[in-house]
Structure 1
């Protein structure tokens, strides 16, 4: 039996963040130029940064480095929430889209907290 190693793509926080970033992209790509240029680009960058920081943290060697990037991911969640609220209040996203985005943004801090705890508890370096 071949031993399979965990990939960053197996981490639940990464899966949720990656799915969310693609959903936000699919929404923003249809906005008018003004909305896309002001809110859209920032919203996409913030949401993309969540999964990117999880991936980068996973690729680091020491637990201190890993946790550092996982904390960046948590900060990107807060930035994403701000852009999400702006998009919602400016009626750039539908109620259904808003509910899905809000649900994922609510889940992610707990998932990343778990990832930080797991990293601190199980890595020795």
Structure 2
């Protein structure tokens, strides 16, 4: 693998979850296209993007800072999940599955951050 982030399990998990969010937002109604769907996708993408950006050519303190950004983006995704559930555009099943997945991802990113 050419880049350090490609070997990081948290990056791979973030990529997988961002893809799941992409599939989910295809079910959103048209009026949410430029509202919640855009926000949740950008936040989901940002989790992986910040891990990648911070891992390559950065000092350990700088990498930790980017992991912090990644955690915040994950929390933003979770908040968007709550909004979608409240608006009745995300099912309880999808909410629970993604909520638990992001909870696990955020814990793993925090553990990585603490290990640096």
TM-score of the pair, normalised by structure 2 = 0.89
**What is the distance in 2 between the residues matched to 1:17 and 1:89?**
24
- Extract structure 1 runs of 4+ deviating beyond 4 A: none
Aligned residues: 116
| 1:122 counterpart residue number | none
Distance 1:5 1:28, change over 3 A: closer
* Equivalent in the alignment of 2:52: 55
Q: By how many angstroms is 1:60 displaced?
A: 3.1
Distance 1:87 1:44, change over 3 A: same
| Residues 16 and 104, structure 1, Cα contact 8 Å, conserved in 2 | no
Within 5 Å, which residues of 2 pair with 1:23-102?
Answer: 23-102=20-99
* Maintained 8 Å contact 1:31/1:92: yes
Give the stretch that moved more between structures: 69-78 or 92-101: 92-101
Partners of 2:3 and 2:46 lie apart in 1 by 21
Q: Which has the larger radius of gyration?
A: 1
The alignment's TM-score, normalised by the length of structure 1, stands at: 0.83
Specify which of 18, 21, 29 is matched with residue 21 of structure 1.
18
Tell me how far apart the structure 1 counterparts of residues 73 and 66 of structure 2 sit (CA, whole Å).
10
SS in 1 for 2:89: coil
Structure 1 residue runs of 5 or longer lacking an equivalent are: 120-125
Backbone CA RMSD of aligned residues: 1.8
